[in-house]
Structure 1
Amino acid sequence: MYHQVGQPAAKGTPFRGLTVHPDSFKRQMHWLRLLGYRGLSMRDLMPYLKGERQGKVVGITFDDGYQNVFDNALPVLQHCGFTATNYFVVRQLGGSNVWDHDLGIPAAPLMNQETVRRWHDAGMEVGSHTLDHPHLPALSTEIAILQIRQSRGELEALIDRPVTAFCYPYGDESPAIRQLAREAGYLNATTTARGLVRPDDDLFELPRVTVARSTHLLRFLQKCLTRLEDRRRSSND
């Protein structure tokens, strides 16, 4: 689980750790490939999650749709022959991370519609992160359905392809919210619960490994390739 790939903000900035330096990202992807792993989008990962295929694979996801991911991460992914999923906040395409502003997190540009299309055309996956990045369990059922279902429809209209991957904003979900994602037509959904996926995991409650600015290479490999990570809820999305 990545967010931004760019120059981290100044020391003391809230959630500075969610921005990974481009050099660190490049080094991480290089070592995954060197060790024989393939980085895959959620779409490409599904046969492995369902037990239909086996192999040395790692799912790569980006939350929120930041422009610096397109600028700095996409060339690295293409060089490595990897695919990845980016979860977009539909009503902020071409805008910024407005949901973070009250926390003192600096505004950062998000991909616009054309850039989303270019991300898709490059072989990457477009996933949904709702319309507005709300806390879904706090919404009425009707509004939650709108956020989950309409975001999928608008993204599908944008790229003219099915959108099957969903990510719960802030990691906030519940059995009822998971059911709404299923009913909306998604095939999988990711959380911010920490850990590697196990064969018996619900495809609509998938954990991830947080990669932060301070995650050095050895720790990155340990987190991604071993089962030492605890399943803990994180509010850093």
Structure 2
Amino acid sequence: MPRLIGLNFHGIGSPARELEEDEAPYWLSETQFTEILDRVAASPDPSAFVLTFDDGNLSDYEIVLPALIQRGLTARFFVLTGRLDEPGSLARDHVTALLASGMGVGSHGIDHVAWSDLDAAALEREIVQSRDALQTLCGHPVTDAGIPFGKYNARVLRALRRNGYRTAFSSDAGYMTDTAFLRPRTSLRGDMTQAEIGAICAGRMPAVRRLHRAAGMIKKRILPLR
């Protein structure tokens, strides 16, 4: 099965809303972003890259969508339904425009919270109500989830499967396959060097980090047992 490289983005350009703590490093300049897209588009096989966007920022519509269309690329957008129609975030009309342009839409929850920190009732609310709101908006089943902050455990994965999700995108970095339920991505940051971005796009990861990643993913997928 082919190995795919997941590149995850958050905001592009100047934020049009007040950022939460620790969000700012994950915003890229428009120049940084378009250089990465150009690298993907010019690669021997652009389909080997899976592009995703978290949080539902307004830049997804104003900057990202035109840039993707210009280069013939597609992406998945993981939307926080609690931010829909809020200043600086996607409006409902923007989400339907993404879909009409051939993009995918998935759930990032309602609020920007770590799912692994929630009790059972709050977790169900985040993943079920957000999915239902998006399905009403999109007019078709929503089966992809982008895990906020990349924080998950076995309980989160079980809840996603139980509620009809077919894929869960994490932030574990490294390769993914298009048949797996859990699909790792690398979240790009504005402070990354060209060399670091180049290594990510080439799928290069030091052996020690690969081992730590594999061990961490195994642990998160099996614990807690209940």
TM-score range, shorter chain: 0.7 to 0.9
Identify the residue that residue 27 of structure 1 maps to in structure 2: 35
The structural deviation recorded for 1:133 is 2.2
Q: Which residue of 1 aligns with 2:5?
A: none
Matched, 1:167 2:146: yes
Q: How does 1:207-222 map to 2 (within 5 A)?
A: 207-222=184-199
| Superimposed CA distance per residue, residues 17-46 of structure 1 (whole angstroms, 9 cap, x where no aligned partner) | 21111112111111222122325xxxxxxx
Give TM-score, length-normalised by structure 1: 0.76
Secondary structure of 2:169 counterpart: strand
1:5 to 4, 12, 19: 12
Unmatched 5+ stretches in structure 1: 40-56, 97-108
Find the aligned partners of 2:150 and 2:62 in 1 and give their Cα distance: 26
Tell me by how many angstroms 1:187 deviates.
1.1
| SS across alignment from 1:83 | coil
- 1:155 CA displacement: 0.2
Identify if the C-alpha distance between structure 1 residues 143 and 8 changes in structure 2 by more than 3 Å, giving closer, same or farther: closer
CA shift, 1:15, in A, is 4.2
Query: Match for residue 203 of structure 1?
Result: 181
Name the SS of the counterpart of 2:172 in structure 1: strand
Aligned to 1:68: 59
Distance 2:116 2:185 in 1: 20
Check whether the contact 1:6–1:19 (CA below 8 A) recurs between aligned residues.
yes
Contact 1:165–1:187 (Cα < 8 Å) also in 2: yes
**SS of residue matched to 1:152:** helix
What amino acid sits opposite 2:181 in the alignment?
A: L
Q: Structure 2: which amino acid aligns with 1:37?
A: D
Name the CA distance, whole Å, in 2 between partners of 1:115 and 1:93.
Answer: 9
For 1:226, which of 191, 203, 207 is the aligned residue?
203
Higher relative contact order (CA 8 A, sep 6+): 2
Q: What is the rounded CA distance, in whole Å, between the counterparts of 1:150 and 1:16 in structure 2? A: 27
Task: Give the Å deviation of 1:80.
Answer: 1.2
Distance in 2 (CA, whole Å) between partners of 1:221 and 1:21 is 17
Q: For residues 82 and 175 of structure 1, do their structure 2 counterparts lie closer, same or farther at Cα, with a shift above 3 Å needed?
A: same
Would the aligned equivalents of 1:196 and 1:224 in 2 still touch at CA under 8 Å? Answer: no
Decide whether the 8 Å contact of 1:128 with 1:165 is kept in 2.
yes
Distance 1:165 1:198, change over 3 A: closer
Moved beyond 6 Å, runs of 4+: none
Whole-Å Cα distance in 2 between the matches of residues 4 and 161 of structure 1?
26
Q: Determine the C-alpha separation between the residues in 1 that align with 2:116 and 2:32.
A: 35
Which residue does 2:219 correspond to in 1?
Answer: none
Counterparts of 1:31 and 1:159 in 2: how far apart (Å)?
Answer: 31
**What is the CA–CA distance in structure 2 between the aligned matches of 1:175 and 1:18, rounded to whole Å?**
26
1:84 partner amino acid: A
Among residues 139, 145, 150, which one is paired with 2:124 in the alignment?
145
Q: Match of 2:106, SS?
A: strand
Distance 1:131 1:8 in 2: 20
Distance in 2 (alpha carbons) for counterparts of 1:154 and 1:198: 28
CA distance in 2, matches of 1:181, 1:85: 18
Alignment match, 1:100: none
| 1:135-155 CA distance string (max 9 Å, x none) | 222322122112112211110
TM superposition shift of 1:14: 4.9
* 8 Å CA contact 1:86, 1:127 repeated in 2: yes
CA distance in 2, matches of 1:155, 1:72: 22
Report deviation, 1:202: 4.9
- Assess if the C-alpha contact under 8 Å between 2:110 and 2:126 holds in 1: yes
SS at match of 2:176: coil
Whether the 8 Å CA contact 1:8–1:213 is kept in 2: the answer is no
